[in-house]
Amino acid sequence: MLRRVLFCCCLLALMACTPQPAAPQFKGSDISGVAFGGNFTLTDQQGKTVSLADFRGKAVALFFGYTHCPDVCPTTLLEYAQAMKALGPQADRVQVLFVSLDPARDTPAVLAAYVPHFDRRFIGLTGSQAQVDRVATQFKVVAQKVATEGGGYTLDHSAGSYLFDGAGNLRLYQAYGTPSAALVHDIRELLR
């Protein structure tokens, strides 16, 4: 009986000494478990209805912007394009989604000419203004039209992006200006 007790104690001590996998150390802000976000459905650049759930099994980067954006949007898309190159074969397990906050101008055809320019795997999403507004609100994204000379407009909008793990869980917020090396690091952590 004493031998059994000693054996069990030794076994428990060994199990306690077994190293556990380290928790991910992210560069972006870990927002796991937040009470916002979730699935949505919009129209892609080919005119097909897609939902966030369609990309389960992949890490997903979600960014909101518009094609007439002079700086923030192309910069962020370039950072993700560089990250995809750096990921090499792992990039096949990543999906970048660009949701247009300007559906009046960003039709599927416009998105098809713009978004894949950064990386052929990137997908542009649009919908009615009400659909886009609903998804933006769902992710706490704000956008406001600013009139320009000649009757045009720009959009002031939230500039960060979100990363989801392969199970479809919202995990990270990446601030605008996050370098591609940090994106690569965090995406690799999500793909582990």
Residues making up the binding site: 69, 73, 157
Q: What strands lie across the sheet with 123-126, from one edge to the other?
A: 29-30, 170-174, 161-164, 59-65, 94-100, 123-126, 41-44, 49-51
- Distance, CA of 94 to CA of 140 (rounded, Å): 23
Sequence ranges of the binding site for Cu cation: 69, 73, 157
Of 26, 23, 33, 90, the residue nearest 58 (C-alpha)? 90
Helix, strand or coil, per DSSP, at residue 90: helix
